[in-house]
Amino acid sequence: MELSVNIDHIATLREARKERFPSPIHAAVEVELGGADGITVHLRSDQRHIKERDVELLKQVARTELTLEMAATSQMASIAKRIKPACITLVPEAPGEVTTQRGLVLLNQKEDLKSYISDLKKYGITVGLFINPDIEQIKEAARIGAQYIEINTNEYSLLHRSKIRDEIIRIARVAKAARREGIGVHAGHGLDYRNIQPLLSVMEITGYSIGFAIVARAVFVGLRQATQEMVQRIKGVR
């Protein structure tokens, strides 16, 4: 199981003061020294935290896999084709949202998305789709050429621990269906040091994308240690 750390909030802090620090590049180095398998950033259309230049520099500096989260727009496609991150996770983007609100609804935009994905793949990019744990969407994800899905764990993360059983079952069903279609399975959104634990029983999930909880902990213990602690949770290292 792999951990990709989302470092958007390092840029959020930088932009709060319109400063040049803290730098996402420095963050990427710390996260890698902490044992992460990848770096993730979301280049929003308004570039309110991560900027195009950050993605460019991260591509040059990161020694692990760089994942770019982005909306499926033509502006983003041209940036992606130029920078060529290892992976792209396509996400829906609503103007003014604080964070990604939901997964993609594949049934509404399938044909456009199919050619969009195949175009990105020509540049050697692995393309995934951020979707809610909705089994109906798996066949569609396979048909339009997704190489992995990232299951939106936002709803799961909001449930009290005593109420998570059904949601874990739902997530596991979706993960198994995706594997049967030959699609990789990641999960992310709202995951933290506690709620990650029960999810680890879903063996089909091979990658986690976690940001806020790690950056929030980093304020107190540093980014390297905060990453190490999550790596220990995920990989069971004592």
Rounded least distance, CB 100 to ligand PXP, Å: 3
Does 212 sit near ligand PXP (CB under 6 A)? yes
| 69 flagged as catalytic | yes
Q: Any idea what the Cα angle at residue 182 is, between residues 178 and 185, rounded to 5°?
A: 45
Decide whether 96 or 238 has the Cβ nearer to ligand PXP: 96
Segment interacting with ligand PXP, rule: CB under 6 A, options 117-125, 159-167, 196-204, 211-219: 211-219
| 42 flagged as catalytic | yes
Does 130 sit near ligand PXP (CB under 6 A)? yes
Check: CB of residue 20 under 8 Å from CB of residue 14. Answer: yes
Length of the chain (residues): 238
Please pick, among 69, 93, 150, 229, the residue that the annotation labels catalytic: 69
Tell me, residue by residue from 45 to 84, as one string, x for binding to ligand PXP by CB under 6 A and - for no binding. Answer: ------------------------x---------------
Please pick, among 9, 49, 186, 189, the residue that the annotation labels catalytic: 189
- Bridge partners of residue 149, in order along the sequence: 129, 185
Segment interacting with ligand PXP, rule: CB under 6 A, options 22-30, 114-122, 132-140, 183-191: 183-191
**DSSP states of 8-74:** HHHHHHHHHTT-S-S-HHHHHHHHHHTT-SEEEEE--TT-SSS-HHHHHHHHHH-SSEEEEEE-S-H
Decide whether 140 or 153 has the Cβ nearer to ligand PXP: 153
Radius of gyration of the chain (CA): 17
CA distances (Å), origin 73, targets 24, 103, 120: 24, 16, 12
Question: Structure tokens of 90?
Answer: 């396509």
Segment interacting with ligand PXP, rule: CB under 6 A, options 30-38, 46-54, 185-193, 225-233: 185-193
Q: Which of 100, 102, 104, 123 is nearest to 113 (CA)?
A: 104
Rounded least distance, CB 94 to ligand PXP, Å: 12
Check: CB of residue 155 under 8 Å from CB of residue 199. Answer: no
Which spans of this chain sit near ligand PXP (rule: CB under 6 A)?
A: 6, 8, 42, 69, 89, 91, 99-100, 130, 150, 188-191, 209-213
Which residues are known to be catalytic? 42, 69, 189
